[in-house]
Chains A and B, each alone.
Chain A
Amino acid sequence: MKKSLVYILSSIMLIVTIDWALGSLFDSLYAKILLGQTGGKINYYLRQKDFSVVVMGNSRALYQINPDSLGSNCFNLSHAGMSQIFHTGLVHVLEQEKKMPRLILLHLEPEEFTFADHGTDIQNLKYYYGKDSLVTAYLRNVSPYERFKFLFHLYRYNGRAASILKNYWYSRRPLPPTNGFESLVATDRDSINTFYSAEKIEPIKTTALNEVQVEYLEEFIKTCSRSNTKLVCFTSPLFTEPRGLNQVTAKLTAILARHKVPYISADEIDVTKYPHRQWLWKDAHHLTNYGAAIESKLLADWFMLNHKIIE
Chain B
Amino acid sequence: MLFNSFQFLLFFPVVTLLHFALPHRYRWGLLLFASCVFYSAFIPYYLIILLVSILIDYYAAILIEPSEGKKRKTYLVVSIISNLALLSIFKYFNFFTENFNELLLWLGVGVKPIPYLHIILPIGLSFHTFQAMSYTIEVYRRNQVAERNFGIYSLYVMFFPQLVAGPIERPQNMLHQFYEEKIFSSSRLMAGLQQMGWGLFKKAVVADQLSIYVNSIYNHWELNTGATLLFATYCFAFQIYCDFSGYSDIAQGSAHILGFRLMDNFNLPYFSKTVTEFWRRWHISLSSWLKDYLYIPLGGNRFGKFKTYRNLLYTMLLGGLWHGASWNFIVWGFLNGAFLSAERILNIKETTSSSWPVRAAKIFMTFNLIALTWIFFRSVTLHQSIGIVKNIFTANGFWNLRIQDSGIFAGMSVAVGLLLAIEFLIFRKQRVPDYFSSRSMVQSIAWTSFFVLMLVLLGVSEGDQFIYFQF
A165 to B452, CA, bound (A): 20
Whether A158 touches B458, Cβ cut-off 8 Å, given contacts A19-B453, A196-B223, is yes
Asked if A309 CB lies within 8 Å of chain B CBs, one says no
Given contacts A11-B448, A189-B400, contact A155 B441 (CB under 8 A): no
**Contact B456 A162, beta carbon cutoff 8 Å:** no
B186 contacts A by Cβ under 8 Å: yes
Which residues from B are CB-within-8-Å of A283? Answer: 223
B220 touches A163 (CB 8 A): no
CB-CB under 8 A for A38 and B407, given A3-B441, A7-B190 = yes
**Cα-based distance from A283 to B406 in the complex (angstroms):** 20
* Option from B225, B411, B413, B453 in Cβ contact (under 8 Å) with A159: B411
Binary per-residue interface labels of chain A (132-162) against chain B in the complex, 1 for a CB within 8 Å, 0 otherwise: 0000000000111100110010110111111
Nearest CB in chain B: distance from A274 CB, A: 24
A145-B457 Cα distance, complex, nearest whole Å: 17
Query: How many residues does chain A have at the interface if contact means C-beta atoms less than 8 Å apart?
Result: 44
Which residues 152-189 in A have Cβ within 8 Å of B in the complex?
152, 154-155, 157-163, 165-166, 189
**Could you tell me the distance between the alpha carbons of A151 and B444 in the complex, rounded to whole angstroms?**
23
A162:B445 contact, CB within 8 angstroms: no
Contacting pair B407 A1 (CB below 8 A)? no
Q: Does B434 contact A (CB under 8 A)?
A: no
Q: Answer yes or no: A73 CB below 8 A from chain B CBs.
A: no
Q: Check if A229 is an interface residue, CB within 8 A of chain B.
A: no
Interface-located stretch among B137-145, B147-155, B424-432, B459-467:
B459-467
Q: Tell me, rounded to whole Å, the shortest Cβ–Cβ distance linking A106 to chain B.
A: 23
A145 to B444, CA, bound (A): 27
Q: Does A37 contact B (CB under 8 A)?
A: yes
Interface flags for B213-237 (1: CB within 8 Å of A; 0: not) read 0000000101101000000000000
Tell me if B410 counts as interface (CB < 8 A to partner A): yes
Give the distance to chain B from A199, nearest Cβ to Cβ, in Å: 8
Q: Is B397 an interface residue (CB 8 A)?
A: yes
CA distance A159 to B461 in the complex (A): 8
Q: Mark B57-83, 1 if CB is under 8 A from A, else 0.
A: 000000000000000000000000000
- Return B229 CB to nearest CB of chain A, in Å: 14
When the two chains form their complex, are residues A7 and B444 in contact, meaning their CB atoms are under 8 A apart? yes
B456 and A155: CB pair below 8 A? yes
| B400 and A163 form a contact (CB under 8 A) | no
Q: Residues of A contacting B457 with CB < 8 Å? A: 22, 154, 157-158, 161
Question: B46 in the interface, Cβ–Cβ < 8 Å?
Answer: no
Asked if A84 lies at the interface with its beta carbon under 8 angstroms from chain B, I say no
B444 touches A123 (CB 8 A): no
Contact present for A14 and B445 (CB under 8 Å):
yes
**What is the minimal beta-carbon distance from B71 to any residue of chain A, in angstroms?**
52
Indicate whether A4 sits within 8 Å of B186 (C-beta atoms), given known contacts A11-B448, A18-B453, A158-B456: yes
Q: Do B220 and A7 touch across chains, with their CB atoms under 8 A apart?
A: no
CB pair A3 B186 closer than 8 Å? yes
Q: Are A15 and B186 in contact (CB under 8 A)?
A: no
Chain B residue numbers with a CB within 8 Å of A123 are 461-462
Q: Is A69 an interface residue (CB 8 A)?
A: no
* Interface check A193, CB cutoff 8 A: yes
Flag whether A197 is at the interface (Cβ < 8 A). yes
Question: Judging by beta carbons under 8 Å apart, are A14 and B449 in contact?
Answer: yes
User: In whole Å, how far is A173's beta carbon from the nearest beta carbon of chain B?
Assistant: 18
Is A262 close to B, CB under 8 A?
no
Q: Which residues of A contact B186 (CB under 8 A)?
A: 1, 3-4, 7
| A106, B124: Cα distance in complex, Å | 46
A38: which B residues are within 8 A, CB to CB? 407
A-side interface residues toward B, CB under 8 Å?
A: 1, 3-4, 6-7, 10-11, 14-15, 18-19, 22, 36-38, 81, 118, 120, 123, 142-145, 148-149, 152, 154-155, 157-163, 165-166, 189, 192-193, 196-197, 200, 283
Closest 3 CB pairs of A and B: A163-B407, A162-B410, A3-B186
